[in-house]
Amino acid sequence: MSGDAGNIALFCDLAGTLVAMDDTRQLPVDAQGNITVTILPGVREKLAPMHDHLIFVVTNQAGIKRGRLRREKVEAALAELDRQLGDILTGWEICPHDDTDQCECRKPKAGMIAELAEVHGVDLAHSTMVGDQEIDAQAAKAGGIGRFVHAAEFFGWK
């Protein structure tokens, strides 16, 4: 994780930050296993002017391991989110594990952040992470991201 790579990026959590969750705080899934992508208020407006910046999504999706979700459906939901946002996402990483796997990619660890930063030459110290949970703030810190902003503040939710 180089601190002087040059590119400043915005890292975002997915559920509860960019898209709505269901009543169980998970991505909403229909009978066919498709994820319903509902962009949260202010997200489109806040991100649209950043279309020429690096914007990444880093998301824990233990539902893949547990059989609630299929990875290809999560990938499809991220592609749909990107389409709805005007094709502004640079990339994303999905952790399909749960806590028992003790992988390096699951937030609060920084594996997903490190992977994206390495591939895209990101200056983490000057980058920002937006999320809705403490685990997102912990991942930002672990990854060396210079600034964490809570989603409610970043997107102007009351």
Q: Would you say 9 and 49 are in contact if contact means Cβ atoms under 8 Å apart?
A: no
Ordered by where they begin, the domains of the chain are: 9-155 (3.40.50.1000)
Query: Pick from 79, 99, 90, 91: which is nearest to 37 by CA?
Result: 79
Residues 41-66: tens digit of each pLDDT: 999 999 999 988 999 999 999 999 99
Angular region, 33: left φ>0, alpha ψ -120 to 50, beta rest: left
67 exposure class (CB count in 10 Å sphere: 0-12, 13-18, 19+): exposed
pLDDT at 19 over 50: yes
pTM for the predicted model, two decimal places:
0.94
Q: Per-residue pLDDT averaged across 13-42, rounded?
A: 95
Residue 22 is encoded by which pair of tokens?
């269901």
Residues 133-148: tens digit of each pLDDT: 999 999 999 999 999 9
Residues 73-92: tens digit of each pLDDT: 999 999 999 999 999 999 99
Q: Per-residue pLDDT averaged across 64-73, rounded?
A: 95
Q: Write down the pLDDT at residue 6.
A: 81
Q: Write down the pLDDT at residue 142.
A: 98
Bridge partners (DSSP) of residue 129 are 11, 148
Q: Write down the pLDDT at residue 71.
A: 96
pLDDT at 5 over 70: no
Q: Per-residue pLDDT averaged across 20-38, rounded?
A: 94
Q: Per-residue pLDDT averaged across 26-36, rounded?
A: 94
Rounded CA separation 109/156 (Å): 27
Q: Per-residue pLDDT averaged across 19-30, rounded?
A: 94
What is the 3-class SS of 95-120, one letter each residue?
ECCCHHHCCCCCCCCCHHHHHHHHHH
Band the pLDDT of 158: cuts 50, 70, 90: confident
